[in-house]
Amino acid sequence: MKIMYIAPRFHTNQSAVVKGWIERGDEVLFISYYKAIIEDYSCIHPLVLGFSPLFLLIDKLYTEVLHRKDVAASAFKINHGFPPIIKLRRVINDWKPDVIIMRDRTLYTIAGYLLGRKSKCILYNQSPMWDEPQKEDLKHRLVRSLTPRYRMTPVMGRAEAGKSIAPHSYFVPFVVEPQIPPGKKNYFKDDCIHILCIGKFEPRKHHMMLMDVVSELTENPDEDYHLTVIGEATGRLQKEFYEKVQTYVKAHHYENIVTLLTNVPKEKTNRYFAETDVFVIPSTDEMASISQLEAMSFSVPVICSDKNGSACYVVEGENGFQFNDCDRDDLKRKLKMLISSRETIMEMGEKAYQSIVNGNVFQNYYDGIQRILKDMEQNRR
């Protein structure tokens, strides 16, 4: 098959998916709005179409004048940006994809869907399978009619009262390549429990909260702990927040227990996964995080917020723990439970690795796509 992706950017965590298609003998073309700085492009080079020149003027006014101090302003182009229509039409018509997978219900996706309806189009987003009922006002019904009818998501959500699964929604898991099995994992480098956190330098990532929690763990004289925080700091606001985090570390004398790293490329990040014992992602408003699954692929147990979309991959007390969102005390409680003994860390690390092997290999992703395509075909008859 010829598989086309249309998304804001190619993210390194999509490498396993691209490799899976290519190893099957399929062709992949990845169209992105922009090219990120620190991603791994060894498996594919995205075709960066960018935005319409008209929109770039609008975006400049919005982000640099009207909302220059707003950390969320950078997302304006993702949700409201529209493509250079002629270029996008030419690419779709020339390449003739069998399947187009488009990210989120945005103006860019609307354009891609209208231009590519001869192909089988699938919407990809990270809204949970179990979600609030769809809104039925005119605006939402119009957007749904202008975007793919079939939707896939790697987020299961919770089957709670008032939530349901929308028609033509499919759970298709994240794909993560198994890295280090438990038998080959070297835990506790330098006789220390190493804790790793990966997340952009933004306030919602709660870096300082995690540092405070780890500092309180050092009160245990029988164990040594070290926290490594790796984050992206490329934009102006990210760089400003990173400076605040640095200041916080110095003000609280955390230099001996905390290491801060920025803009670490994928191949080097894997080294930190290999040398860590526990992975913690304390952020809030996290649609979904693949970094915790990457940690699990290195036989590392994880802790994340119960509101993190990827919490559906964390089985409480088996391959990790979930803490109450934004609850510092509960984060500390769960972290203490995980590091209660080194044996606990290793046992949960083994189950974390097995979770990846059983649930997050490319075959599971491929089967999910085929299920969607089969239902499309049946509904066309």
Domain ranges of the chain: 2-49+84-175+361-380, 182-359
* pLDDT number for residue 71: 61
Helix (H) or strand (E) holding 27: strand 27-32
- All residue ranges of the chain with pLDDT < 50 are none
In sequence order, what are the residues at sequence separation of 6 or more whose Cβ sits closer than 8 angstroms to the Cβ of residue 281?
197, 198, 199, 289, 291, 292, 302, 303, 304, 305, 308
Q: Which residue stretches of 135-235 are H helix? A: 138-145, 207-217
Q: What is the CA radius of gyration of the chain?
A: 22
What are 261-318's pLDDT values in tens digits?
999 987 889 999 999 999 999 999 999 999 999 999 999 999 999 999 999 999 999 9
3-class DSSP assignment, residue 171? strand
In sequence order, what are the residues at sequence separation of 6 or more whose Cβ sits closer than 8 angstroms to the Cβ of residue 357?
178
3-class DSSP assignment, residue 285? coil
pTM score: 0.89
Q: Cα-flanking dihedrals φ and ψ of residue 237, to 5°? A: -70, -35
Classify domain 182-359 by CATH architecture: 3-Layer(aba) Sandwich (3.40)
For tokens 């298609």, what's the residue? 21
Read off the amino acid at residue 342: R
| 2-49+84-175+361-380 and 182-359, same CATH topology | yes
What are 202-242's pLDDT values in tens digits?
999 999 999 999 999 877 777 899 999 999 998 888 999 99
Q: Is 45 exposed, middle or buried (0-12, 13-18, 19+ CB in 10 A)?
A: exposed
What kind of fold does domain 2-49+84-175+361-380 have according to CATH? Answer: Rossmann fold (3.40.50)
Q: Cα-flanking dihedrals φ and ψ of residue 298, to 5°? A: -100, 20
* pLDDT number for residue 40: 79
Helix (H) or strand (E) holding 110: helix 107-115
Please calculate the CA angle 44-268-42 and round it to the nearest 5 degrees: 10
* pLDDT number for residue 235: 82
